[in-house]
Structure 1
Amino acid sequence: MGGIWPDFLTALILVGIGWSCSLLLLDRETIPRLLSSLNLGRLLHLSLESSDLGIWCYEHQQDRIFLDGRASLLLGLPTRAARLAEFLECVVPEDRERIRRIWLHPPTTAAPGTVEFRVGDSHRGLRHLSLSSGLPGRGGKRRRRSGAMAMGTLQDVTERKKVEIALRESEARFSTIFRTCPAGIALCRVADGSLVDVNPAFLHIYGLERQEVIGMTSFALHLWGSPQQREVALASILIDGRGYQSERSIRRPDGQVRHLLISVDLVFLDSERYLQWTLLDVTENRRSQALASRNEILTNAIMNSLDVAVAVLDREGNILRTNRKWSEFALGNGAGEELAAGVGLNYFEVCRRSFPEASATEALAGMQAVLEERLPVASIEYPCHGPAGERWYLLQATPLGSGLQGLVTIHMDITARRQAEEGLRQRLMLQDKLARVAASVPGVIYSIKLRPDGTFCIPYAMQGSVDIFGLRPEDLTEDLGPVLSRIHGADQERVLAVVLESARTMAPWHCEFRVHHPQGGVRWVESKAVPRLEDDGCVIWHGYIHDVSARKQADAELMRSRDQLRALNEGLQRVREEERSRISLEIHDQLGQSLTVLKLEMAWLRARLLGGQAEEKTRLQEVGRLIDDTLRAVRTISWDLRPGILDTLGLGAGVEWLVDDFRRRLGIRCNVVVPRERLELPDVLATHLFRICQELLTNVARHAQANRIDVSLGLADGRVLLEVRDNGRGMPMLPAHGHSLGLLGIKERAAQCGGEVHIATRPEIEGTRVRVLVPLITRETDIGNIGH
């Protein structure tokens, strides 16, 4: 009976080879190499190998290559004489120079030299060939002479290469298994009984460090029950070649007692005998069947740990083994309990029952091609839409290997990948549509990136950059410099400041600036962009830029028109005020004086009448009263046209007169506050503020329904402040466009003085409050400058 460890390793290696070497075909070329690596059947190996050799000859002087049938088949060249160039065409480009040197500089003796190279074609794929070369002669002593013929053999070593790769992977897996194996493994020298190597599981079982264990004897570690038992066991192992098994309990340094199943086997390393100890900790689960089925448990554990559905088939398609994922795969796709159980079911028949579905036909044909060694591996993607929805799977069928006839099939869920591919396709289609839409938009859609080192680049820009900057998109990708060079010098600093502020606050930026186009001259452009912070610390803006020169020109024309209209309106108001002043003066001076003279004359006539002329006196008295009424009307008209108090006493007195007149006419309670000292203001500014106050009082009288008003005039922060407030019904809804003609006139007068108007009404305050703020101007010539 062998020990635990050989059976345990055998199971793991079989499973490892079955999975890692799934692409390896064991044909008649591979079998002799495996036999050769095991030093078994050497004669059979040599005979098979020699049957695969092709013979070639090469005449250097005539540049002719002669191939036998096997060599011709391996190279895909005819057996007739070929040239060196024809031979090199078959070789992979990376290997041609090395082969050329072999052909042109063969060895100087008949001692053969060997080189391996690769050839490939569309039918047989990439293959590895071994070429041996030498000069014909005896005993390897013949020297090369002019025109000598080189000859040698050609052999296909593709399968040997695969086996070498598989063996290297197997050795790596064996080392991994030794380190990661849950069973404790130790190597003990037979000569002195000391331990030379242990795996981590062994140290974990004993609760010791590696330096504490290496060098200790197996007896000191209580691996033997007694000296007598050790002698009997060693005799059984060393003499009879049988393994030793026992069950042992040990106490760790921390006091824990562990129950172990121990297996001891004899192994040879570098011609020296060692005992291989395998310790299986069964403290937590001491089941009698654990020892008998441990290989099965480990195999199932490995298979069930895989996230793919696995089924092992024999040559006829019968299912020999499945894993847990297979059952979930079958049940999840509505295949039923029979297929979910798997073992004993013929999978080929399952595929046949699914005919004429193309995927079932393709799957069966692929698996049979692998069994017949026509394909190293079969891969088929197929839909399997079940109750859980639309699913896609990848079926891979590989041979069992190791001389076993059968297949390992893997069903991998690739739904996510297919969905991702479909999503990518949809995104590409959408991107193409968006690109076409963006191409039809005037201007340039772009991306600007600010790197952590403070440099800029433009990852993306549309072809419109030629129209805006005169630069192609490919000229902008690495550096922002070409774009900055086209921005007007007076605007560069402002644009950079806006962009950097957006990077600091992560707020969108909007800027208008000028650019120099090589053909179009100076243009105005507008740009807007939204920032986003990327994982690498870069800030990237996505936005657009378009030409607004026409709009800027229209805005400038509009501003000029507004300035002209404002100047015209200001001139008209000035002319009107001047005309009012002239008319007021003429009415007051001429008409008033004439009426006064007339009144005096009438008084004189009345005094000259006789006492008997009572009727005439009455008539003259009525004419005198009429003259008095006319004089009062003349004074009122003159004051309305241009109050003289505004010119003599200033704006404060004029506002007081307006409020007193308002109180006298309407009987509304009024409160007025003006500066004690006269405000020294230009006539134009004083007139504008007087007319604004007059219009505000008129609006209160017409619309407010108020019983109290407060008027104040003063200075605030270097500006003249006029405020009129009432307690009326307010202005719940402004007229169309937010202005009445009266308010429009007020705002226009304030704008002509460089001032502003603020209106507050319900529900902000009770009633309505209008504040007019204009700069304090002391010279007449400054009004026009401030207004513009």
Structure 2
Amino acid sequence: ITYEHQVISPDGTIRWQRWTARGLFDESGALVEYQSIGEDITERQQAEESFAMELERLSTTPRGIGDGVIATDVDRPAVLINQAAETLTGRSQEEALQAESAEYKQAEEEREKLLHDKGERVKELQCMYGVAKSIRARNTLEEIFQDVAELIPPGWHYPEITRGKVTFGEKEYVSEPFTETEWKQSSDIVVHGEPLGSIEVYYLEECPELDEGPFMTEERNLINGMAKNISEAIERKHAEEALRESEKKYRSLFSNMRNGFAYCQILVDEKNQPIDFIYLEVNDAFEKLTGLKKVDVLGKRVTEAIPGIKEAHPELFDIYGKVALTGEGTQFDIHFKPLEIWLSISVYCPHRGYFVAVFENITERQQAGENLRISEEKYRRLFETMQDGVLIADTISGEIIDINPYLAELFKCNREAIIGKVVWKAHPFSSMLGMEEGFKSLRREGYTRFVTAYQSIPNGRKIFAEFINNVYLIGGRSIIQCNVRDITENKLAEESLRESEEKYRQLVELSPDSIAVHREGKIVFINTAGARQLGAADPEQLIGKPIRDFLHPDYHDIVKERIRQINKGKKEVPLIEEKIIRLDGTVIDVDVTVIPATYQGKPAVQAIARDITERKRAEKELSESREQLRSLSAHLQSVREESQKLLAREIHDELGQDLTALKMDLSWMKGRLRPDQKLLQEKVATMTKLSDAMIQTVKRITARLRPTLLDDLGVVAALEWESGEFTERTGIGCDLTVEPEDLDLDPDRVTTVYRIFQEALTNVARHAQATNVKISIKVHADTLEMEVRDNGIGITEEQVASPRSFGLIGIRERVLQWDGKAIIEGRKGKGTTLAVTIPLDNGGGPK
């Protein structure tokens, strides 16, 4: 079939294409594949459209126009000829159309033949492509032969009646259903110059004679090409198998060799100087000896795989570069710094630009030699510098082989003069008691240890020396090594310790506090004061008794935990108050501190206890006295508040009413005076002003005693009035916030809050030097919180703690009545903050 259609190019333009397609079918008539050939006909289509438009235009042009007009299509015969053209050509329009149609038909037949030939070439190319594809897929030879046999029919001129066969050795591979006929075409499969098989093509029916019987020249070229490709594929397969076998042997040797192996390519700059190299192949021993993984080095530059190698070993690049570029091998040892290992490396050049490094890790060998040298150096350095004396002597003869400088300095002897002499006969050892007996015992037992004294002649100092002696073999010779330690300071320290222990024992015995040591829960020591504290006549009476017997039951678990902390390594546990029970059953209060101790060489616990029974009694009395004073203060405040309340009400009710009546009488008198009674009118006016002033004074006095707003309108209204009065009186801005706005408190708390509010504002006015004060009163979770914050100079800590700060003391006392808190803080130049909290759920009245 042939069809035309539009396509949209990637750049968005519309192109016209014409496709000729045909299907290939198998023997059963089933469609196997399509073969299509296409061409771009955009320009032709555009020409046809232009021609149609021109034809339309010409069709409207009178046929009698003077010029000859012939309209044609590129691919079709003429479609329009006018009269002038008929005269000029000598042919009518009908004759011209018939001639053009014949030429057009011949052109169409030639194009169809060309398309058919193109289709045949496509089939041949697809056949060759299929063979190449099978070979590239690295199939087995058997699979390739079978693929070729099946690819033959679609590639020949008559696929429906074509069969293919590949013969190789004694095996045959055919396309089914296969039948041999007399119409055959074949080509030999030649491997290494020897024909080992063939490709054969059969037609099942007789076909027209072409170039080679029924076969075309192109099909001969195709079958020869297929045979050649298969021959080359077989040769490659054989070569690959031989190479694999060789590689298998090489790989076995390569993988199992104990030396490391690295095959590398040298990289050079424009001056042919080595600058880097790439790892192309390494063996398993490479990983084991260097610790580097193949995956981290293969295909990488050494400067990438081992950072810092160029800076650490620039000579490596010169050595490897010389071998790779000149072909001269070499061998060398190197301490490879990036990996901190020693390597012995042999390098050779397999071909120019490449090198192979075969190496072994000689770190242990190098390290052994280095360790020996270091060990000898360390021993000599230790021998020369150690702060113990060392004497080396022959076990059999007792002759001194060597002494170190410390020993010579310790005993003030000459090293050269003493070497070669017998130990117990040489000065200064000859004057030391037990030397000869000690060395004879050393020969028998192989180890001795003894202490001896030596009186130094130059300065008369007495030296105590401890000899620790061992016998060992060096090169088959029995040697004595004596380590001599100056223990003079230790001896003196032991003496000082004995004196210190005696002083400590006296201090413990004379201490007024109880000092006891217990281990595993039992008393192992207690001083005289401790015995008296527990009611014992003598300390011995308490030794061995469990400490639990003297602990009050309330403190059993506490003491047990404190002892556990000491046993776990805690140096000290905090001082606490405890109760202990004396032998007579009485209970006393004590302050106890506990520390770890050592007693008779074993770990123990030391407890120091001070009797605080009298102090506790005094503290209790003081606390009770303070509570009584606080109760008295609260009572006096309550009485004063009540008195002020009554007094304010009496003044307001009695005096206020009388003054109001007087003002009403004066007003009445003023209305009844004649105009000519000016003196009386003036007197009445003066008396009215005086009564008004007296009424204001009464209001001010009653407000100071207790504002009526507090009882009539509640605490919020009273606080707002007081803050306004404060600002009007002092000129200090006052911002008041109350949450909730309808705050409702019991009468006693109302009085407390109001008086604290008054006192706080009074302190601000007197001391703060502030320009503004902010008061916040809020209720949170059954607690009233009041914060008063000013922007003044800030109260100092001394002022907060001063016993003369009566205003602050009064605030604290009022808050304590409700188990509340008052915190006063000041920052210099930043103002003062008073924070008050008063519980709202602890009863109905103050304590």
TM-score (ref. length: structure 1):
0.49
- Larger of the two Rg values belongs to structure: 2
Higher relative contact order (CA 8 A, sep 6+): 1
